[in-house]
Amino acid sequence: MQVRAQEPVTQHFSDFWIGLNVEARVSKHWSLLSESELKRKEFMAEPNAIFACLGVQYHIAKGVNAHVAIGRQWAMDSDVHSLVVVGETRAQVQVVFHQSIGRFRFRERLRNEFRWLDRLPHDPSPGKEFHDRVRLLLGMEFRIFDNKRLPSLVAYDEYLVETITGFSHPAFDQNRFFIGLRQPIAKNLTAEAGYINVYASSGSPSITELHDVLKIGVNWSPHFDKKGNSAD
């Protein structure tokens, strides 16, 4: 009897992400961080995930900083009878480099995420499943207008890879490409809106996910350092 291999599957999704990032400068070298994000799928019709984290950032030199943070994500999925919620504890360390050349501002970020996923109640292996994921982001911002109160163009590409491989831990996690606009609102307050194309592949046989995402983000960077020192 011949057993046919299962064919690869491609799934298409439309998502909506909205988030708030806060970086509060408390001294020349230190900042307090918080990040929160709400994700919906089928654009806004169904819940997807909620994420929140807190951390500290050290400004090593002008254009170079590093941070550590810990957070929690609640991933949600609807079945026929109820809403299934899977929790995830996440710790992350990262280094970011900024550099400006004329109207361009470039950004490179290297992040390592340590993730502990709660297993579902009916899972035969209780406890948590550990993942270690590395994320590399290359981005740029282009100032279109001389007036800095007008929006600028923002784009980045981020590659995500798992360092622990296996059946449930494929080496390639996903790729995210973003393009959009960043608009200054007030001093130390900006908003960002744009489109993300997410390409993800996992499992055996391969399951490819293609996500079209509308993303809106608000960034607030208050300075509580009375001396007004800023390395960035």
Please determine, for residue 230, whether its predicted confidence score (pLDDT) is greater than 60.
no
Omega into 205 within 30° of 0, i.e. cis?
Answer: yes
CB atoms within 10 A of CB 35: 18
pLDDT at 154: 98
Q: What is the pLDDT of residue 221?
A: 95
Q: Is the pLDDT of residue 125 over 90?
A: no
pLDDT of residue 164: 79
Q: Which two tokens stand for residue 39?
A: 């994700």
Residue 80 in this model has a pLDDT that exceeds 80:
no
pLDDT in tens, 60-74: 999 999 999 999 999
Q: What is the CATH number of domain 9-220?
A: 2.40.160
Beta strands 64-78 and 83-101: pairing type? antiparallel
- pLDDT band, very low/low/confident/very high, at 84 (cuts 50, 70, 90): confident
Mean pLDDT, rounded, of the chain:
88
Q: Is the pLDDT of residue 79 over 80?
A: no
38-59 pLDDT tens trace: 999 888 888 889 999 999 999 9
Amino acid 168: pLDDT:
56
- Provide the percentage of residues in the chain whose pLDDT is more than 70: 84
Domains of the chain, by residue range, sit at: 9-220
